Every structure is written in structure tokens, then in C-alpha cells.
């Protein structure tokens, strides 16, 4: 859902996130890891992009944080499997 909104609001960035998601999914075969990778990249890109208004940077950080919170249970399960 988040990716769909970003594809409409910021198509170039949305396509980049889709590519990151696809590569991550290809490497790990786990959708949660792919989503987290894509949205961490999204947040970092906006945080360090000085050409964007502050509201976009804050919004991107919030979206990234929401994706991580949404995948909290998946993260716990993945950590448990790796231990």
C-alpha cells in the first residue's frame, strides 16, 4: 500500500523502491526484508536530500518508521530464526 502511494506521489522514487524491493526479495526470498530495505532506503534518501522541503523529509521518515513498525512481528520472527 505504501509503495502504491509513493508510486503516485513520487513516480521516480517509487520505481526505485520497487527495484530495491525486487532485488532484496530475489536475494532473501522474504517480503518483509525486502519491504524494510526499500523503506529504509526511502527514509534515508529523503533525510539526506537537502533539496527537499522539511515536511517531505519528516513525512518520509514517518512512512519508513510505519513500515518498520508494521513489520515488527516479522522482524522478531526473523531474528528468532537466525539465533
What pLDDT, in 10s, does the model give residues 17-72?
A: 999 999 999 999 988 889 889 989 998 888 887 788 888 888 888 988 988 898 88
Q: What is the pLDDT of residue 61?
A: 87
Q: What is the pLDDT of residue 82?
A: 65
Query: Model pTM?
Result: 0.78
27: left (phi over 0), alpha (psi -120 to 50) or beta: alpha
Number of helices (H) and strands (E) in the chain: give both, helices first: 5, 0
Amino acid at each position: 500500500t505504501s509503495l502504491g502511494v509513493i508510486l503516485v506521489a513520487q513516480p521516480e522514487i517509487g520505481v526505485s523502491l520497487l527495484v530495491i524491493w525486487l532485488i532484496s526479495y530475489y536475494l532473501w526470498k522474504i517480503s518483509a526484508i525486502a519491504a524494510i530495505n526499500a523503506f529504509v532506503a526511502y527514509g534515508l534518501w529523503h533525510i539526506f536530500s537537502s533539496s527537499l522541503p522539511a515536511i517531505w523529509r519528516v513525512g518520509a521518515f514517518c512512512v519508513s518508521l510505519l513500515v518498520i513498525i508494521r513489520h515488527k512481528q516479522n522482524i522478531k520472527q526473523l531474528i528468532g530464526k537466525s539465533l
